[in-house]
């Protein structure tokens, strides 16, 4: 028996298997760096938009309350009303600019939800509509509802629940759903 021939054949088979496995690994992971970079950019984009949404909501609610207080007090407050309108405009334009800057990475569903959010902000006329505190509360509830829809769509887009579950499995912890069940909370 020629052992050198067998060893050479086995070495060739092992090398061929290693080549095939390396090629398959290359084929499956060649786009992984690009996908990871896009995912990271989406996370940054979503964080930026969420911060802008929170900021605009806070400004709009604060201005609504100030408009309400101005309406309740006697006399003309034209300068204060103009200043509040300027704050509203700045907040709205900042949110709009933020969304437009990040539009490349936003799925159509999220863009549509953000435009619904814009519509709510556009429809509000604090000088005329917010004569009662109850209207401010309704506006705030609707703003929060639309915000929640946007955030839920973002979480679904990045498959957050799957990521969270996978991370908890790797680290030996519980995922968010299990924590809700254990604590009885939301």
Residue-range definition of the domain harbouring residue 94: 32-181
Mean pLDDT on 81-103: 87
On whether both 21 and 84 belong to a single domain, the answer is: no
How many CB atoms neighbour CB 124 within 10 A? 21
Q: Are residues 7 and 85 in the same domain?
A: no
Check whether 148 has a pLDDT greater than 90: yes
pLDDT band at 146 (very low <50, low <70, confident <90, very high): very high
- Clarify whether residues 25 and 44 are in a common domain: no
- Per the prediction, the chain carries an average pLDDT of 82
pLDDT at 112: 93
Tell me what the mean pLDDT of segment 117-142 comes to. 76
User: What is the predicted pLDDT for the residue at 129?
Assistant: 58
Residue 47 scores a pLDDT above 90:
yes
d(CA 68, CA 80): 12
Question: Is the domain of 21 the same as that of 57?
Answer: no
Burial of 67 (0-12, 13-18, 19+ CB in 10 A): buried
pLDDT at 179 over 60: no
68 in Cβ contact with 110 (< 8 Å): no
Q: Are residues 36 and 13 in the same domain?
A: no
The answer on pLDDT for 103 being more than 70 is yes
The residue-averaged pLDDT of 94-106 equals: 89
Q: Is residue 77 part of a domain?
A: yes
Q: Is the pLDDT of residue 33 over 60?
A: yes
Inside any domain, residue 86: yes
Residue 186 lies in a domain: no
Considering its fold, how many domains does the chain have in total?
2
pTM over 0.85: no
């Amino acid at each position: 028996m020629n052992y050198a021939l067998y060893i050479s054949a086995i070495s060739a088979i092992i090398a061929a298997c290693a080549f095939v496995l390396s090629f398959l690994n290359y084929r499956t992971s060649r786009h992984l760096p690009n996908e990871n970079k896009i995912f990271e950019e989406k996370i940054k984009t979503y964080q930026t938009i969420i911060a802008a949404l929170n900021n605009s909501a806070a400004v709009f609610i604060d201005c609504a309350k100030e408009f309400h207080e101005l309406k309740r007090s006697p006399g003309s407050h034209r300068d204060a009303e103009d200043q509040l309108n300027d704050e509203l405009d700045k907040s709205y334009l900042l949110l709009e600019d933020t969304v437009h800057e990040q539009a490349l990475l936003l799925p159509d569903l999220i863009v549509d939800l953000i435009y619904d959010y814009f519509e709510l902000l556009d429809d509000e006329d604090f000088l005329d509509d917010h004569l009662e505190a109850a209207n401010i509360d309704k506006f705030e509830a609707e703003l929060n509802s639309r915000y929640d829809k946007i955030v839920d769509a973002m979480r679904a887009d990045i498959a957050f629940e799957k990521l969270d579950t996978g991370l908890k499995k790797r680290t030996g912890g519980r995922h968010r759903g299990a924590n809700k069940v254990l604590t009885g909370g939301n």
